Amino acid sequence: MSYLKKTALVSCVACALALPVTATADDHMIKASNIIYSDITNGLNTFGRIENVLLNRNSDAVEYLFFETSNTFRPVSNTKGFVEISNVKFNADAGGKLQVLVKDTNAQRKPQELEVTHKEAEYRLVSKILDEYIMFSDQQMRQIDDILIDRKTGKIKYFTVDMATDGFFSDDIRAIPADEVHIKWSGQVKSSASLTDVSSHKKYQMGSM
């Protein structure tokens, strides 16, 4: 490599290092899809994995995390259980993968302690919501891509949808604020925004969050 090329390369690296670091959605929000199947730990041992996430009655925040214990811990623990969102913390393991930390092991609860019926839970399960479509105010529909959740409070911040419908690898992800989305008891997901608004307004672009 010539001296001039080396000098240019060093200058580019220096410029990159000097650029200001801007906040992104990942700094304070996590994807609901990343919570499901993530490991659950008590800080000392990883004792299972998250099987599903249940929203509260208003469907505006996470209420419970359902987990299944690993084979290693089944002789001394229940096969399944759940924990309230207020008793967990979301961390990243050594490889950067999302991990659910239970702050108090006494917070782990048995399935029979759940005071929610199957019918009540059905429309509030994140795994089911992620398979649904959002109906916009102009009667247009798009499939839900993911749900962005505040990692500290468990509140839903955005529902994301992919506006691209004409290709395998192209995507155009838009973020709809949670206060513009309503999940009905029937499981139908509706938005007060129109598809035209979501497609054209800057506030729905991922970079504007």
Residue 1 lies in a domain: no
Q: How many domains does the chain have?
A: 2
pLDDT in tens, 117-172: 988 898 999 999 999 999 999 999 999 999 999 999 999 999 999 988 766 666 78
Residue 96 belongs to a domain with what CATH number?
2.30.30.240
CB atoms within 10 A of CB 89: 12
Per-residue pLDDT tens digits for 186-198: 889 999 999 999 9
pTM: predicted TM-score of the whole model, two decimal places: 0.81
| Contact predicate 150/26, CB 8 Å | no
pLDDT tens string 71-95: 665 555 668 999 999 999 999 888 8
Q: Which of 81, 98, 122 is the last residue of a domain?
A: 122
Cβ contact 124:54 at 8 Å: yes
Q: What is the DSSP letter of 205?
A: B
Both 79 and 165 in one domain: the answer is no
Who wins on pLDDT, 206 or 2?
Answer: 206
Length of the chain as a residue count: 209
Contacts of 111 (CB under 8 A, 6+ apart): 78, 80, 81, 82
